[in-house]
């Protein structure tokens, strides 16, 4: 073989080997509390974001990207673990107890470190699971890729708080005294909100914040460019969940879950991706998928215990594509609920397991916002139309929306005969997911803290049949009471307290139609051995039988064994006080002085019910 040809072959071989061995870098840029609806790149009513749009033109735009939860700690824990929070016990915000990672599983950046990556986070974590020491090389406000060893590949997470909910906690006087860059009179206001000056100003102010965040994104990308790293780094821009105007953050609607996602593809790796730069991707991706996607692009092993899958890879890979995303909403600070949702194709199905917990139930942090206060004031003054009033009223047990035609989920199709086939399909698919995990949310949080905290996944597997039974009882809310009555009666007579618990909730789901079971419910309210079953029965009798709950709820509160249990009881107190028909309570801090555990959320309720 001629020496020149041999030299050329060796050069090509070395170059190919070097190229194949080169690992991409990763930069995640997260903004807080903004759904895709606030960016013009995703929604015509949003704000212009030229820096994010520039990333998209050199990469991929995902039109169907979803957080699995509409609040930060649960969403971020889902993101870092690649696991559904109701399966691993990390689904309450804020955590009353912290749980271990599933056995044999680490938060995914630890696997990048094992593969030689420098992993950094600047700086928010907010995890509901225990973090091992090998997740981050550095997690602080000083963390940067610039501190790595020469040539070492990196994974860096940067969170910008500019768009956080707290940015809208301004005094009402600002509305008249501090003008926004965006015009309050021309900004779009969602149809379920009052078209008031408070809402118009708040929307305009938030558009300002979105544009400020976009400038921060541009400056960070410029740092990559200055360091000569832009052409070797995948840049992900996304929000940590939806929000933040009322009925978004904290709620399992598209406005709470649908996030913007743009991934700039570095020049060095564009030829190895089948997707065309600048294209928009219709397949669905969720937060459980982000970790395995980065691991796959880095050439690291994706662990088996996770719930997500990779949606990008280098070379010719057969990757899973999806048209669905599962979501969950439970406790947000002191406010309890249990909602599960499935977005599949153009439809969103929402299952309200405790339909009487109306969306607008008091949450101290939410109601710091002038817009929230304005909405409640107008409701109390009967100044709202039917659509705008729904936020403060009991919801259907299940809802169905065509999001392509109805992006703000106004027209509920669950009762439309033309959509019964779709409704039943999505209901069945959601049931399959919930039972398959299984979903720990069917147990009260206080019981999980006592029985499941050391190993939630194992607890769920050991009680899979019990959870399936509770789910079936909960589903008795979906049909007619006549068809469900005998099965509900059996649940109320069960030896399992949590089947009785869900039997009572099923009665509440049917409202006054369940009054034929009143005698049984009275007995449960007076003498059930489980305090929380008594609470749910008292709740039903107050809502639908006109029985004043004040004295019985006071006794239940004094009988609470933990602060978490007491907080759940106070959730019912607030529901019965602030909702219809409205009852008077005299709640005093002395009633819960005996509870010495984590009192953070309990104190929030007491701040509202018994201010110092």
**Range 285-290 average pLDDT:** 98
Closest CA to 399 of 386, 412, 417: 412
DSSP state of 100: P
Quickly state the pLDDT bin for 413 (edges 50, 70, 90). very high
Cα distance between residue 468 and residue 460, in whole Å: 11
Token readout for 406 is: 């109805």
177 exposed, middle or buried (CB, 10 Å; 0-12, 13-18, 19+)?
Answer: exposed
HSE value, Cβ hemisphere, 13 Å, CA-based, for 353: 26
Q: What is the pLDDT of residue 16?
A: 33
Q: Are strands 154-160 and 118-122 parallel, antiparallel or unpaired?
A: parallel
Neighbours of 278 (CB within 10 A): 12
Residues 6+ apart with CB under 8 A from 332: 71, 93, 250, 363, 366
Task: Give the SS3 label for residue 325.
Answer: strand
**Range 140-147 average pLDDT:** 98
Cα distance between residue 556 and residue 552, in whole Å: 6
Cα distance between residue 536 and residue 516, in whole Å: 17
Is residue 150 within 8 A of residue 166, CB to CB? The reply is no
Q: pLDDT tens digit string along 465-522?
A: 999 999 999 999 999 999 999 999 999 999 999 999 999 999 999 999 999 999 999 9
Q: Is the per-residue pLDDT at 167 higher than 50?
A: yes
Q: pLDDT tens digit string along 557-591?
A: 999 999 999 999 999 999 999 999 999 999 999 99
Q: Can you count the helices (H) and strands (E) in the chain? A: 22, 13
Q: How does 137-173 read in b/e, with b if 16+ C-beta sit within 10 Å?
A: bbbeeebbbeebeeeebbbbbbbbbbbbbebbebeee
Q: pLDDT tens digit string along 309-335?
A: 999 999 999 998 999 999 999 999 999
Token readout for 281 is: 């991707």
| Mean pLDDT of all residues belonging to the chain | 95
Closest CA to 598 of 95, 96, 99: 96
Q: Are strands 154-160 and 233-239 parallel, antiparallel or unpaired?
A: unpaired
Is residue 191 within 8 A of residue 234, CB to CB? The reply is no
Cα distance between residue 222 and residue 228, in whole Å: 10
Neighbours of 329 (CB within 10 A): 26
Is residue 35 within 8 A of residue 249, CB to CB? The reply is no
Cα distance between residue 11 and residue 15, in whole Å: 6
Cα distance between residue 552 and residue 535, in whole Å: 8
Residues 6+ apart with CB under 8 A from 318: none
Cα distance between residue 506 and residue 587, in whole Å: 27
Give me the percent of the chain exceeding a pLDDT of 70: 97
Q: pLDDT tens digit string along 421-440?
A: 999 999 999 999 999 999 99
The residue written with tokens 């469900």 in the block is 484
Q: What is the pLDDT of residue 4?
A: 33
What DSSP element (H or E) covers 160? strand 154-160
- What distance separates the 2 farthest-apart alpha carbons in the chain? 99
What DSSP element (H or E) covers 602? helix 600-609
Beta strand extents in 11-112 (DSSP E only): 25-31, 59-66
Neighbours of 516 (CB within 10 A): 13
Angle at 239 between CA 387 and CA 343, to 5 degrees: 55
* Cross-strand pairs, 61: 262, 280
SS3 per residue for 508-521? HHHHHHHHHHHHHH
Q: Is the per-residue pLDDT at 3 higher than 80?
A: no
Token readout for 605 is: 């309720």
Cα distance between residue 527 and residue 532, in whole Å: 11
Quickly state the pLDDT bin for 21 (edges 50, 70, 90). low
Q: Is the per-residue pLDDT at 298 higher than 50?
A: yes
Backbone dihedral angles phi then psi of residue 46, each to the nearest 5 degrees: -85, 180
DSSP state of 181: S
DSSP state of 342: E
Q: pLDDT tens digit string along 372-390?
A: 999 999 999 999 999 999 9
Is residue 242 within 8 A of residue 257, CB to CB? The reply is yes
Percentage helix, strand, coil, to 5, in the chain? 45, 15, 40
Neighbours of 414 (CB within 10 A): 19
Q: What is the pLDDT of residue 18?
A: 35
Q: Is the per-residue pLDDT at 236 higher than 50?
A: yes
**Range 264-275 average pLDDT:** 96
Quickly state the pLDDT bin for 612 (edges 50, 70, 90). confident
Is residue 110 within 8 A of residue 134, CB to CB? The reply is yes
């Amino acid at each position: 073989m001629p020496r020149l040809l041999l030299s050329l072959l060796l050069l090509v071989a070395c170059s190919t080997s070097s190229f194949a061995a080169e690992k991409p870098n990763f930069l995640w840029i997260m903004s807080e509390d903004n759904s895709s609806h606030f960016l013009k790149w995703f929604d015509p009513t949003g704000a212009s974001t030229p820096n994010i749009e520039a990333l998209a033109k050199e990469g991929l735009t995902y039109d169907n990207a979803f957080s699995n939860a509409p609040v930060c700690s649960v969403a971020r824990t889902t993101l870092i673990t690649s696991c559904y929070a109701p399966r691993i016990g990390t689904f309450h915000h804020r955590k009353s107890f912290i749980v271990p990672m599933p056995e044999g599983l680490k938060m995914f950046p630890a696997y990048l470190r094992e593969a030689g990556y420098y992993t950094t986070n600047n700086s928010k974590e907010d995890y509901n699971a225990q973090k091992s020491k090998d997740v981050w090389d550095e997690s602080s406000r000083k963390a940067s890729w610039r501190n790595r060893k020469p040539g070492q590949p990196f994974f860096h997470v940067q969170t910008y708080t500019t768009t956080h909910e707290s940015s809208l906690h301004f005094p009402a006087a600002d509305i008249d005294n501090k003008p926004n860059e965006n015009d309050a009179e021309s900004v779009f206001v969602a149809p379920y909100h009052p078209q008031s000056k408070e809402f118009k100003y708040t929307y305009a102010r938030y558009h300002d914040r979105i544009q400020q965040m976009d400038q921060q994104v541009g400056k960070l990308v410029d740092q990559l460019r200055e360091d000569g790293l832009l052409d070797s780094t995948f840049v992900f821009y996304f929000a940590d969940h939806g929000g933040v105007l009322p009925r978004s953050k904290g709620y399992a609607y598209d406005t709470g879950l649908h996030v913007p996602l743009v991934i700039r593809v570095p020049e060095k790796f564009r030829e190895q991706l089948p997707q065309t730069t600048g294209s928009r991707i219709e397949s669905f991706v969720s937060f459980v998928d982000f970790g395995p996607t980065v691991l796959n692009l880095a050439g690291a092993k994706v662990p088996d215990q996770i719930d997500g899958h990779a949606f990008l890879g280098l070379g010719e890979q057969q990757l899973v594509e999806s048209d669905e995303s599962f979501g969950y909403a439970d406790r947000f600070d002191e406010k309890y609920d249990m909602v599960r949702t499935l977005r599949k194709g153009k439809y969103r199905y929402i299952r309200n397991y405790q339909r009487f917990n109306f969306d607008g139930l008091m949450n101290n942090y939410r109601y710091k916002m002038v817009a929230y206060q304005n909405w409640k004031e107008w409701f109390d003054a009967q100044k709202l139309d039917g659509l705008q009033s729904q936020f403060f009223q009991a919801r259907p047990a299940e809802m169905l929306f065509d999001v392509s035609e109805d992006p703000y989920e106004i027209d509920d199709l669950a009762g439309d005969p033309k959509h019964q086939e779709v409704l039943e399909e999505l209901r069945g698919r959601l049931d399959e997911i919930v039972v398959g995990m299984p979903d720990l949310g069917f147990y009260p949080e206080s019981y999980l803290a006592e029985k499941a905290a050391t190993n939630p996944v194992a607890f769920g597997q050991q009680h899979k049949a019990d959870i399936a039974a509770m789910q079936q009882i909960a589903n008795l809310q979906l049909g007619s009471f006549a068809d469900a009555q005998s099965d509900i009666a059996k649940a109320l007579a069960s030896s399992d307290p949590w089947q009785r618990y869900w039997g009572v909730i099923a009665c509440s789901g049917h409202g006054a139609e369940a009054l034929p079971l009143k005698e049984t419910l009275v007995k449960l309210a007076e003498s059930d051995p489980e305090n929380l079953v008594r609470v749910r029965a008292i709740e039903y009798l107050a809502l639908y039988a006109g029985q004043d709950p004040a004295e019985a709820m006071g006794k239940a509160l004094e009988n609470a064994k933990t602060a978490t249990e007491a907080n759940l009881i106070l959730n019912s107190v607030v529901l019965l006080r602030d909702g219809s028909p409205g009852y008077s309570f005299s709640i005093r801090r002395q009633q819960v002085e005996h509870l010495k555990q984590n009192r953070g959320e309990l104190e929030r309720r007491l701040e509202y019910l018994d201010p110092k």
